[in-house]
Amino acid sequence: MLKIAVLISGRGSNLQALIDASQKPDYPARIACVVSNVAEAQGLERARAANIPALAISHRDFKDKPSFEKAIDEQLTQHGVQLVCLAGFMRLLSPWFVDRWRDRLINIHPSLLPAFPGLDTHQKALDYGVKFTGCTVHFVRAEMDHGPIIAQAAVPVLPNDTEETLAARVLESEHHIYPQIVHWIAESKVNVLDERVFIAGVNSPQSPLLNPALTD
């Protein structure tokens, strides 16, 4: 049983998707702890409601970033964590922390990386006029929103989309893709070779995605 930690800063909707998946008897991972840098984060209440250790470690309580991250690392070690899942954790992690958890630290980002890293991804997609956006799960590297891509979910952009409607549809895909990838990692299907990810026993789609759809 793979022990995971989820790092959050806010409401924890992807955390909830992981909680729901982990409560299924055949799911091969369990959440050992949830850590937030914001004591009031709604996600901590989600964890407590599921009887998961919920820890608030505020970055404001430490003199510098390394001290803050060492406090997190100590908790991860104490809880026997084997995989760290970032789910709306709004702090850029230091290279030492990323290197310590290399290939055991994943993130979910609401765009099709490398397009639109950082914040305001949905508005950027609308402003640019892309026909598809989506979400990406990747192994974390020191540079923001970079690292070997594990999987992506493509979401069509509709003509009448607003930032809010697009965000809601992308979030639905996030809730499906994140638990599945943790499942694959727990089954040792995910491997990184030369900064590329290979997933054993999983097929890629063969049909192209078109938006707008072609007419006869």
**Is 205 part of a structural domain of the chain?**
no
Tens digit of pLDDT per residue, the chain (216 long)? 999 999 999 999 999 999 999 999 999 999 999 999 999 999 999 999 999 999 999 999 999 999 999 999 999 999 999 999 999 999 999 999 999 999 999 999 999 999 999 999 999 999 999 999 999 999 999 999 999 999 999 999 999 999 999 999 999 999 999 999 999 999 999 999 999 999 999 998 888 899 998 876
**Is 95 part of a structural domain of the chain?**
yes
Catalytic positions are: 109
**Is 85 part of a structural domain of the chain?**
yes
Backbone angles phi, psi at 8, to 5 degrees: -135, 165
Containing domain of residue 62, as a range?
2-199
**Is 179 part of a structural domain of the chain?**
yes
Please answer whether residues 5 and 31 qualify as being in contact, where contact means their C-beta atoms are separated by less than 8 angstroms: yes
Q: Exposed/middle/buried for 11, CB within 10 Å: 0-12, 13-18, 19+?
A: middle
Reference 132, options 106, 164, 169, 107; nearest CA is: 169
Domain with residue 75: its CATH number is 3.40.50.170
61 DSSP assignment: G
**Is 206 part of a structural domain of the chain?**
no
**Is 182 part of a structural domain of the chain?**
yes
Name the one residue in this structure whose structure tokens are 């950082």.
118
Whole-number Å distance between alpha carbons of 216 and 211: 14
Instruction: Give the Å distances, CA to CA, from 130 to 51, 60, 145, 212.
Output: 42, 38, 19, 11
**Is 209 part of a structural domain of the chain?**
no
**Is 130 part of a structural domain of the chain?**
yes
